[in-house]
Amino acid sequence: LIDTRLAQRLLQTEAKRASMAAQYPLGRIGTPDDCAALAEFLLSDNSSWITGQIYGVDGGLSSLSKSP
Protein backbone atom coordinates (compact mmCIF):
# COMPACT_ATOMS: atom_id res chain seq x y z
CA LEU A 1 0.00 0.00 0.00
CA ILE A 2 1.39 3.35 -1.06
CA ASP A 3 0.11 6.56 0.54
CA THR A 4 -1.48 8.18 -2.51
CA ARG A 5 -4.92 9.56 -3.37
CA LEU A 6 -5.83 6.11 -4.67
CA ALA A 7 -5.35 4.67 -1.16
CA GLN A 8 -7.11 7.57 0.59
CA ARG A 9 -10.17 5.54 1.62
CA LEU A 10 -7.96 2.95 3.32
CA LEU A 11 -5.93 5.59 5.17
CA GLN A 12 -8.49 8.25 6.08
CA THR A 13 -8.18 7.92 9.87
CA GLU A 14 -5.21 7.46 12.18
CA ALA A 15 -6.69 4.15 13.36
CA LYS A 16 -6.88 2.86 9.78
CA ARG A 17 -3.35 4.06 9.07
CA ALA A 18 -2.01 2.31 12.16
CA SER A 19 -3.90 -0.89 11.35
CA MET A 20 -2.60 -0.97 7.78
CA ALA A 21 0.97 -0.11 8.83
CA ALA A 22 0.96 -2.96 11.36
CA GLN A 23 0.49 -5.46 8.52
CA TYR A 24 3.93 -4.66 7.08
CA PRO A 25 7.23 -5.96 8.48
CA LEU A 26 8.66 -2.45 8.22
CA GLY A 27 5.73 -1.16 10.28
CA ARG A 28 4.75 1.70 8.02
CA ILE A 29 2.82 2.61 4.89
CA GLY A 30 4.84 3.08 1.70
CA THR A 31 5.33 6.49 0.16
CA PRO A 32 5.71 7.63 -3.43
CA ASP A 33 9.32 8.46 -2.53
CA ASP A 34 9.92 4.78 -1.70
CA CYS A 35 8.93 3.85 -5.26
CA ALA A 36 10.82 6.77 -6.75
CA ALA A 37 14.02 5.74 -4.94
CA LEU A 38 14.01 2.38 -6.71
CA ALA A 39 13.29 4.00 -10.07
CA GLU A 40 16.11 6.49 -9.50
CA PHE A 41 18.52 3.68 -8.64
CA LEU A 42 17.53 1.62 -11.68
CA LEU A 43 18.00 4.64 -13.95
CA SER A 44 21.44 5.37 -12.51
CA ASP A 45 24.82 3.91 -13.44
CA ASN A 46 24.78 2.09 -10.07
CA SER A 47 22.42 -0.47 -11.58
CA SER A 48 24.36 -1.03 -14.80
CA TRP A 49 24.99 -4.72 -14.06
CA ILE A 50 21.36 -5.51 -13.20
CA THR A 51 19.13 -7.04 -15.86
CA GLY A 52 15.82 -8.89 -15.90
CA GLN A 53 14.95 -8.57 -12.23
CA ILE A 54 11.64 -8.07 -10.48
CA TYR A 55 11.69 -5.84 -7.43
CA GLY A 56 8.89 -5.80 -4.89
CA VAL A 57 8.51 -2.41 -3.27
CA ASP A 58 6.15 -3.64 -0.57
CA GLY A 59 7.66 -2.99 2.86
CA GLY A 60 8.48 -6.67 3.26
CA LEU A 61 4.88 -7.87 2.87
CA SER A 62 5.79 -10.45 0.21
CA SER A 63 8.33 -12.00 2.57
CA LEU A 64 5.62 -13.11 5.00
CA SER A 65 4.56 -16.73 4.74
CA LYS A 66 0.97 -17.28 3.73
CA SER A 67 -0.52 -20.08 5.82
CA PRO A 68 -3.62 -21.83 4.47
Residue 16 has pLDDT above 90, yes or no: yes
CA pair distance 66, 64, nearest whole angstrom: 6
Residues 24, 55 contacting (CB under 8 angstroms):
no
- Which pLDDT value is given to residue 66? 74
Q: Which residue, among 41, 31, 44, 12, has the nearest Cα to 58 in the 3D structure?
A: 31
Question: Left, alpha or beta for 30 (phi > 0: left; psi -120 to 50: alpha)?
Answer: beta
pTM for this prediction: 0.81
Question: Left, alpha or beta for 52 (phi > 0: left; psi -120 to 50: alpha)?
Answer: left
Residue 11 banded pLDDT, cuts 50, 70, 90: very high
Per the model's pLDDT, the better-predicted residue between 65 and 63 turns out to be 63
Mean pLDDT, residues 8-36:
97
Residue 68 has pLDDT above 80, yes or no: no
